[in-house]
Structure 1
């Protein structure tokens, strides 16, 4: 599909029809929506990037914030393995993983504002009002996830509709987190859509066979999200909110 700066109903229809044709999916209205967390629900990526850079620096490993936008979505242990290969040419021990992740988590608690992404709470409410089941699918394993969600999103998310890094063996970009979410809701890939913001998360969702919308809330170019095979790339949650009705209506349209 041609890449466009703005999306209207016809663009949505084209994107969804193209995706269904490629996957050989028949008519299947969307019944569930899966949300990534950092950069989708919360404006937390600047704090994550700063925390990772400083934690890596304490281990004598050079890194820059852009690294962590590119690696966003994967499990923290996988990020630490990349850093140790870069810095020391070897894999970290389990203790080193635990220590670095613990330090990074301390720094994140210091720097994180807790702010939600603009219009994300309203989008979650809109999706729920449409009768769709929602799931959180995050690579994070931080112990305060539920508290953060309750502060920003009330009771929309809880243990029963969350897949975290602690729940899977293989994190994003492997499809396991999104396959786990499908298992939790008891639906097929054709019945769900994903809201992501990072290339690795997009790749995980696409490889799970799910229609994937990327909302570019970070500093990476849109091309990185298109290259990860997002079906739509949008500039904000406000735009996605404005298109939600058309997206759901199109999902109910039978394919010829």
Structure 2
């Protein structure tokens, strides 16, 4: 058995890893969208006098947008804002994002989903976004493998990543599963921390500029350099669970 799986089982006291679902993050995992998000964050927050760097955008990736905004306002302006005000600011970020060219599907992801689907596992998406156009695009691009009732958005939970709530909701939506009955696929430290906090075997695919150490320090169970590597390793990974 894979040594990372053994470590995971020993850590949590689980008898076996028997995945019935794979829960994917969206940005930076399903879509090569983080460069556009970083631009949109920088441009939109500048409107409100908030300086958001490229590193800030990647470090807060996966969190609910309103939570990121409230944190940045508190940090830079020393004031607390309520969720409606943060939502108005996030609406500007959404506008800026959709003004940019459409992002591409991440290389390797369709191959991976086809394998997962062929193995009879449910595919879910757990995202900190909640914009209807993005949900519609998910269903258009991945409709052969994904249904809307298996999508968790920012509006399904009160506490976003790095809290475990989004991935716990993903387990619930995919059939009231237990943590040892799923994989999480993430690319960002906050998302990794959320998957790990939910006690799900969490796979990091490092599609961004952060060093592997950041994802390792967040607690990921295994790291791949790019999505095609995970697609290539899928058969062996699933075999180690049987």
TM-score (norm 1): 0.91
Alpha-carbon shift at residue 99 of structure 1 (Å): 1.8
Please name the residue that 1:42 is paired with. 31
Matched, 1:170 2:156: no
Distance, in Å, in 2 between the alignment partners of 1:98 and 1:188 is: 33
Q: For 1:31, which of 4, 20, 37 is the aligned residue?
A: 20
Please name the residue that 2:105 is paired with. 116
Matched, 1:69 2:58: yes
Alpha-carbon shift at residue 157 of structure 1 (Å): 2.2
Q: Which consecutive residues of structure 1, in runs of 5 or more, have no partner in the other structure?
A: 1-9
Q: For 1:131, which of 120, 127, 130 is the aligned residue?
A: 120
Q: 1:216 to 1:99 in 2, by over 3 A?
A: same
- CA deviations on 1:56-108 (whole Å, 9 max, x unpaired) are 11111112111010000000110110121123101223442122111100000
Matched, 1:233 2:203: no
Matches within 5 A, 1:1-256: 13-184=2-173, 185-252=175-242
Distance, in Å, in 2 between the alignment partners of 1:112 and 1:220 is: 24
CA RMSD in angstroms, aligned pairs only: 1.3
Alignment length (residue pairs): 241
Distance, in Å, in 2 between the alignment partners of 1:31 and 1:94 is: 35
SS of 1:85's partner is helix
TM-score (norm 2): 0.96
Alpha-carbon shift at residue 112 of structure 1 (Å): 4.3
Say if 1:214 and 1:230, in contact at 8 Å, map to a contact too: yes
Alpha-carbon shift at residue 48 of structure 1 (Å): 0.6
SS of 1:251's partner is coil
Q: Stretches of 4+ moved more than 6 A in 1?
A: none
Alpha-carbon shift at residue 151 of structure 1 (Å): 3.5
Please name the residue that 1:4 is paired with. none
Q: 1:112 to 1:230 in 2, by over 3 A?
A: farther
- CA deviations on 1:128-177 (whole Å, 9 max, x unpaired) are 11110111111111121222113422342232111111100100000001
Distance, in Å, in 2 between the alignment partners of 1:236 and 1:28 is: 23
SS of 1:229's partner is coil
Distance, in Å, in 2 between the alignment partners of 1:66 and 1:136 is: 24
Q: Which consecutive residues of structure 2, in runs of 5 or more, have no partner in the other structure?
A: none
